């Protein structure tokens, strides 16, 4: 979806929202509260449940690392202990910068966004912000302010944009009104303090995301990759920090990196699988960022150079593979990658060594079929 389509949607959305002061809807006080809601809220919850089911059916939820999923939920439960088992965080298998809350307490958090954060306090900032949208019933407030939601849905259909369930879910694209976003920031800040997090990390979260978006040239339409939305969050949290300065608290950078290590590798693999190789290059060429990845990360950098071959000579890829082998001699894919490049250059003797080493390490690996084929060709050529 292009930026121009989203610009049109912004205009349409603005035209359909009254812009008047939001109608008070109250908020949830605890988990017991959420079972008591109006018919209007029940309709929103029903839509949210349908969305939950649809997402699960599409195998979009990242379940590869149960420990990571449990860790993220643990952070949310620390922020909103009275809503334990009600606010449920699920990681989504997508490299894009996105997170959103549904009116029924489902919070969806893309692994791409998680991979870009630096520590647990930053994770907590985003979770606290999204949790606030649920607790303060922002979906209901926004729904009531829509002048004509049917017209909005029709406009979406006209633009050919998939209606992913509900206006509330689409807030992941636009966010809510400025007032509601600031309210979410205030609630989040308070929750961070109560949970013992270093609130100086709150503004840093969005400064860091803005740097990532600018450096990587990310042009996704989502709230957490939108320049204006990120600048607004930075300003909002800076004001809150000025009013209530912090002198410390939980940051937990090491724990965060440890718990999200496999997730970050998965995001590199998702990016490569979609040929988003420049994203991988821009991340891994930064020494400070590469230090947070395991030693074999140079292999992924090599793969990105190879795939973005137009802009990078193959020698860069080969150097990266060699670095990965030096730093982690047991990581099999590096041998396959280097062996294939030598095979293409008809350096059969050298190629054979690396390809055979790959098979020694991973006889049933994903590249085994091709590796055996190349070795057969080499044997024929060098007979």
Partner 1 sequence: MSTRMLIIVVTFTLLSGCAQTWVKVTQSETVSPASTFAASLPLGWVRFEAEEDVLLVTRDGLALQTVLLRRSDLKLAFEKIKKDAEVGMLASELAELYVAETKQSGEAENLKVKSNHPARVAGRDGFRLHLVYANAKGLRIDRVVYGFVDTKGFFTLSYTAPKRYHFERYLQNFESTVASFRQLQGNA
Q: Tell me which residues in 65-104 interact with partner 1 (CB under 8 A).
A: 93-94
Quote the tokens at residue 317: 């890829």
Query: Cβ closer to partner 1: 93 or 138?
Result: 93
C-alpha distances (whole Å) from 266 to each of 23, 64, 373 are 42, 9, 28
Query: Cβ closer to partner 1: 243 or 273?
Result: 273
In angstroms, give the least distance from the CB of 259 to partner 1. 24
Burial class (CB in 10 A: 0-12, 13-18, 19+), 85: exposed
Under rule CB under 8 A, residue 350 binds partner 1: no
* Phi, psi angle pair for 91, to nearest 5°: -85, 140
β-bridge partners, 61: 92
C-alpha 252: how far from chain center: 19
Which range binds partner 1 by CB under 8 A, 108-116, 216-224, 356-364, 367-375?
Answer: 367-375
Query: Cβ closer to partner 1: 232 or 269?
Result: 269
Number of residues that bind partner 1 (CB under 8 A): 21
**Which residue of 3, 286, 326, 373 would you call a contact of partner 1, by CB under 8 A?**
373
Place of tokens 């003797």: 349
Under rule CB under 8 A, residue 380 binds partner 1: no
Instruction: State how far the Cα of 42 lies from the Cα of 45, in Å rounded to an integer.
Output: 5
Under rule CB under 8 A, residue 150 binds partner 1: no
In angstroms, give the least distance from the CB of 115 to partner 1. 17
Instruction: State how far the Cα of 362 lies from the Cα of 337, in Å rounded to an integer.
Output: 13
**Which residue of 3, 231, 286, 344 would you call a contact of partner 1, by CB under 8 A?**
344
Which range binds partner 1 by CB under 8 A, 138-146, 291-299, 348-356, 366-374?
Answer: 366-374
Instruction: State how far the Cα of 142 lies from the Cα of 177, in Å rounded to an integer.
Output: 8
Under rule CB under 8 A, residue 228 binds partner 1: no
**333, HSE (Cβ side, Cα atoms, 13 Å):** 11
Query: Cβ closer to partner 1: 129 or 312?
Result: 312
Residue 149 CB contacts under 8 Å (≥ 6 apart), including other chains: 16, 143, 167
Q: Which of 28, 32, 22, 108 is nearest to 72 (CA)?
A: 108
Under rule CB under 8 A, residue 157 binds partner 1: no
Under rule CB under 8 A, residue 370 binds partner 1: yes
Under rule CB under 8 A, residue 63 binds partner 1: no
Query: Cβ closer to partner 1: 76 or 375?
Result: 375
Under rule CB under 8 A, residue 379 binds partner 1: no
Under rule CB under 8 A, residue 217 binds partner 1: no
Under rule CB under 8 A, residue 275 binds partner 1: yes
Which range binds partner 1 by CB under 8 A, 113-121, 174-182, 203-211, 268-276?
Answer: 268-276
Residue 358 CB contacts under 8 Å (≥ 6 apart), including other chains: 332, 333, 335, 336, 339, 365, 367, 371
Which residues are at the interface with partner 1 (CB under 8 A)?
53-54, 56-60, 93-94, 162, 273-275, 307, 340, 344, 366-367, 369-370, 373
């Amino acid at each position: 979806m292009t930026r121009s389509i989203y610009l049109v949607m912004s205009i349409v959305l603005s035209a359909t929202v009254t812009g008047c002061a939001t109608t008070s809807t109250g908020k949830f006080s605890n988990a017991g509260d959420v079972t008591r809601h109006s018919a209007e809220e029940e309709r929103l919850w029903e839509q949210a449940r349908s969305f939950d089911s649809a997402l699960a059916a599409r195998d979009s939820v990242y379940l590869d690392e149960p420990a990571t999923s449990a860790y993220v939920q643990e952070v949310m439960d620390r922020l909103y202990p009275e809503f334990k088992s009600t606010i449920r965080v699920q990681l989504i298998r997508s490299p894009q910068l996105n997170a959103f809350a549904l009116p029924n307490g489902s919070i969806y958090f893309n692994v791409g966004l998680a991979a870009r954060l630096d520590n647990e306090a930053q994770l907590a900032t985003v979770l606290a912000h999204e949790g606030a949208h649920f607790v303060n019933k922002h979906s209901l407030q926004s729904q009531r302010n829509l002048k004509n939601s049917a017209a909005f849905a029709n406009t979406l259909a006209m633009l050919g944009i998939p209606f992913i369930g509900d206006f509330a879910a689409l807030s992941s694209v636009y966010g809510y009104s400025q007032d509601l976003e600031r309210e979410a920031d205030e609630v989040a800040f308070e929750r961070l303090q109560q949970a013992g997090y270093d609130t100086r990390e709150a503004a840093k979260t969005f400064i860091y995301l803005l740097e990532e978006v600018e450096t990587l040239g990310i042009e996704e339409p989502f709230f957490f990759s939108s320049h204006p939305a990120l600048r607004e969050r930075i300003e909002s949290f800076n004001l809150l920090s000025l009013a209530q300065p912090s002198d410390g608290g939980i940051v937990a950078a090491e724990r965060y990196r440890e718990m999200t290590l496999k997730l970050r590798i998965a995001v590199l693999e998702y990016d490569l699988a979609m040929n988003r190789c420049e994203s991988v290059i821009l991340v891994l060429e930064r020494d400070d960022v590469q230090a947070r990845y395991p030693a074999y990360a140079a292999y992924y950098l090599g793969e990105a150079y190879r795939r973005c071959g137009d802009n990078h000579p193959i020698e860069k890829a080969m150097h990266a593979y060699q670095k990965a082998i030096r730093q982690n001699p047991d990581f099999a894919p590096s041998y396959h990658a280097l062996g294939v490049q030598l095979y293409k250059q008809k350096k059969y003797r050298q190629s054979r060594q690396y390809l055979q080493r790959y098979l020694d390490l991973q006889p049933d690996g994903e590249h085994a079929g091709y590796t055996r084929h190349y070795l057969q060709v080499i044997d024929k050529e060098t007979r």
